[in-house]
Amino acid sequence: MRDGNFESYLASVGEALEAVLEELLASQPIAGEIARPERLIEAMRYAALGGGKRLRPFLVTQTARVFGADRGNILRAAAAVEFIHCYSLAHDDLPAMDNDDLRRGRPTTHRAYDDATAILVGDALQTLAFDVLADERTDPDTAIRADLVVTLARASGIGGMAGGQMLDLEAEGRFAAGGAPLALTRDEILRLQAMKTGALITASAEMGAIIGRADRQQREALRNYGHLLGQAFQIADDLLDVESDAATLGKATGKDSSMGKATLVGLLGVEAARRRLAGLVAEAEKALARFGGEADVLRQAARFVAERKS
Amino acid sequence: MRDGNFESYLASVGEALEAVLEELLASQPIAGEIARPERLIEAMRYAALGGGKRLRPFLVTQTARVFGADRGNILRAAAAVEFIHCYSLAHDDLPAMDNDDLRRGRPTTHRAYDDATAILVGDALQTLAFDVLADERTDPDTAIRADLVVTLARASGIGGMAGGQMLDLEAEGRFAAGGAPLALTRDEILRLQAMKTGALITASAEMGAIIGRADRQQREALRNYGHLLGQAFQIADDLLDVESDAATLGKATGKDSSMGKATLVGLLGVEAARRRLAGLVAEAEKALARFGGEADVLRQAARFVAERKS
């Protein structure tokens, strides 16, 4: 595939994913459930459907494809990662957290519904993620399913995404006397970002490797690729926040610096951040050295993440 | 065991569980985690340690014991259920939900910390529950672990506990024009309660059966027992709310009726509710008919749930 076709391929995987998300968020209860209350399933659909580039699910499917694994049920594992991502957005946007009104160009879940519903939306999307991974339709091998659950859980709980959001609130000075933002060191910023956004991106790559029955070295290489890609993604995100406008991005911009948020762009400056971004993309490609042409899409993904405009 | 010893046995299982919860909520990260931010792990410990009768974990361990399964790692599965229960308390107590200040005689998590921290506490406790279930230390058989994850997820997500909380908020008239409580029918009340509290109690009994390698009929019998026990538990809880005082119960009382909350006690009256409670205990014992003396503890548990004073 030529680079020019990458975005349309990304979009086509996103469409295939959307159909699976739709099916998993049907209004009818599945075996073992009593009922799906209308208001809650509707709000879950609002929070999870029709939005975003679906980068994390794309990574799950494309790392699995490196090993030739290309079955439809890989999209279920991809959907689980996206549910975790969407749950975190619904909760992070709450007034008690980051207090955002706009997300992907639409009112955030708690603005479209209310705070209580948005809390339950996040809770139930998280539950559904683990339900889907452990279900036999995702993979016939129970050891694979258990591995997927542990990998996603460890990336998204206290030691990963949720812990990262805690560090982020602390960095804003939320719990400090006076409430002034903390001055984070480079290493502290890197750790915060590795937890808040990096861990889930890394897990996405690793989960594809798990489904693909990667050996230990292959799995470690793809974990490493995911880790570098996550760092690149974060710098690109921070650069977009500084340089883009709300209309292009579909959410408030310039918010990070106005809140004194610690980012690498703020610490290093735009030019140095750009150089670091280019370096990370090169490193991510190097992490794929053991793979041949079957990993070209992942190489393109690294470049896309660095160059995206929204 | 004689009935008189039941409470001390319940307490001793609770103590064994506490040690496992302590270990799972250690401040050091485990493999696959980056770090455990101090404020978050401390608040998670506040929300999960040192409280309650631990009825759900007790059920997990005692249904497993029916099959002679009595290994230490069953307490890990029991801990997972308790993490789900504690996450739901931390979220349900939030100002945006039920707005409670007192729980188990102490300030609720968001009162002891803040709303954002309480949201993350619930999120991370839920994640930890599924992490623990899927981890190899819980059971050597991956099929058992996958089954445990699906069973707990389906009981606690949109089709169970979280969905039940949504129905409960709706029943309070939260989203109705005028905000007046809805007049629920008996069947609607039963469905709400089966989801909000019943599903997790039923799952506790079922998870013990899964760990005990129960056959299909045995598993169904224990599910049925759990379902009846859950109904009994709820009526007993509603009766306590009407008849007890805050000092005994460690949380606000009389709140249900003052909020016009739909309960069977409110619908049937205290005397009819008491008769229904006795009937449910008898039915729960009957559900155990296929088991002999090895299920005596479960029979005592049914009586205890109906007769408890706090």
User: Residue A264: which CATH number?
Assistant: 1.10.600.10
Q: Do B134 and A135 touch (CB under 8 A)?
A: no
Closest CA to A31 of B84, B154, B152: B154
Q: Mapping DSSP to helix (H, G, I), strand (E, B) and coil, where does residue A107 land? A: strand
Q: Which of B123, B133, B154 sits opposite A126 (nearest CB)?
A: B123
pTM score of the predicted model: 0.96
**Which one, of B195, B32, B79, B233, lies nearest residue A124 by Cα?**
B195
Counting every residue, how long is chain B?
310
Q: Give me the residue label for tokens 């926040």.
A: A241
Question: What is the average pLDDT value for chain B, to the nearest integer?
Answer: 93
Selecting from B35, B141, B163 the residue whose C-beta is nearest the C-beta of A163 gives B35
Give A176-195 pLDDT, tens digit per residue. Answer: 888 889 889 999 999 999 99
pLDDT score at B241: 87
Structure confidence at residue B176 as a pLDDT band (50, 70, 90): confident
Note whether B185 and B255 are within 8 A (CB): no
Please give the pLDDT value at position B4. Answer: 61
**What amino acid is encoded at B39 in this protein?**
R
Mean pLDDT of A221-236: 97
Q: How far is A245 from chain B (nearest CA, A)?
A: 28
Q: Is the pLDDT of residue A259 over 60?
A: no
Q: pLDDT tens across B178-237, in order?
A: 888 988 999 999 999 999 999 999 999 999 999 999 999 999 999 999 999 999 999 999
List of chain B residues whose C-beta atoms are within 8 Å of the C-beta of residue A39: 166, 170, 175
Distance from CA of A3 to the nearest CA of B (A): 33
Q: How many CB pairs under 8 A join A and B?
A: 216
The verdict on a CB contact (< 8 Å) between B32 and A167 is no
Q: What is the pLDDT of residue B141?
A: 96
**Tokens 């206290």 belong to which residue?**
A158
Domain count, chain B: 1
Please give the pLDDT value at position B247.
Answer: 54
The pLDDT of residue A3 is above 60: no
Does B98 have pLDDT greater than 70? yes
ipTM over 0.90: yes
- Closest residue in A to B176 (Cα–Cα): A39
- Which backbone phi and psi does B64 adopt, to 5 degrees? -65, -40
B34 and A169 within 8 Å at the Cβ level: the answer is no
Q: Each residue of A14-26: b (16+ CB within 10 Å) or e?
A: beebbebbeebbe
pLDDT at A201 over 70: yes
Q: In B, which residues are within 8 Å of A155 by CB distance? A: 32
**pLDDT tens-digit series, residues A22-31:** 999 999 999 9
Which residue of chain A is at minimal alpha-carbon distance from B136? Answer: A146
Which pair of structure tokens corresponds to residue B238?
């509603």
Q: Which two tokens stand for residue B77?
A: 């599965």
Q: Which two tokens stand for residue A194?
A: 């590795």
Range of the domain at B190: 3-307
| Residue in B120, B136, B202 to test binding to A, most A beta-carbons within 10 Å | B120
CB pair distance less than 8 Å for B174 and A130: no
Q: What is the DSSP string of A195-241?
A: IIIIHHHHHHHHHHHHHTT--HHHHHHHHHHHHHHHHHHHHHHHHHH
